[in-house]
Homo-oligomer: A and B are copies of this chain.
Amino acid sequence: MSVVAEAASAREAEQRCRIVATAERLFREIGFQKTTVADIARALRMSPANVYRFFGSKSEIHVAVARQLMGEVEAAAQRIAAGPGTASERLRALVRCNEAMNADRYLADRKMHEMVEAALDEHWPMIDEHIDRVDAVVQFLVASGMESGEFAKGDPELAAKLVHTALIRFCHPRLMVECADRPEPTSEQMIDFCLAALRAGVSR
């Protein structure tokens, strides 16, 4: 790529980032459903036509905002998994971080929860991708615990899916809202339960 083309491409990426960041802020302030492309353009002092140069439709902006939010959660999980500590400690830290980030993103802000509802009701494909990415990080942790002898030997892919599914009440934004009035089990108790199963290993 030429220097000129590279600079143009960097500018494009920057513009996309600004649009996504502004859309996210407006979703929080005005609401996900109410925010229009015109609102986003106005906040950025650009024309709607310019926004449409980067995103073909409002729903493409939705997808980009959701991907950004989920990407941050995935990045945090990856940092924890690659960090120091035993597999159990990192798994606990990952679940705590995931729960806190989801609560902050989707629950604290009722307006943002609208986006979660739409994503779930309309089956946005990125939800499955997000689950797969978190599965992969958990699998990495479980495999490392199996190698170190911390967990019983077994199939790390399946074990990761079991842990992730057992913890769904603390990951899934709609369930977090639905179960908010049920104090037990806490996520800490559920992590202990999962760790007990991982240490013991599954034998029928």
Contact = CB atoms under 8 A, between A and B. Distances in A.
Contact of A194 (B120, B185, B189, B197): B197
A6 B190 CA distance: 50
Give the number of copies in the complex.
2
Q: Is the interface of A mostly helix, strand, loop or mixed?
A: helix
Interface string A152-192: 00000010011001101100101100100110110001101
Contacts of A166: 165-166, 190, 193-194
Interface residues of A, number: 31
A157 to B, nearest CB: 8
A86 to B, nearest CB: 12
A45 interface: no
Contact of A190 (B165, B201, B203): B165
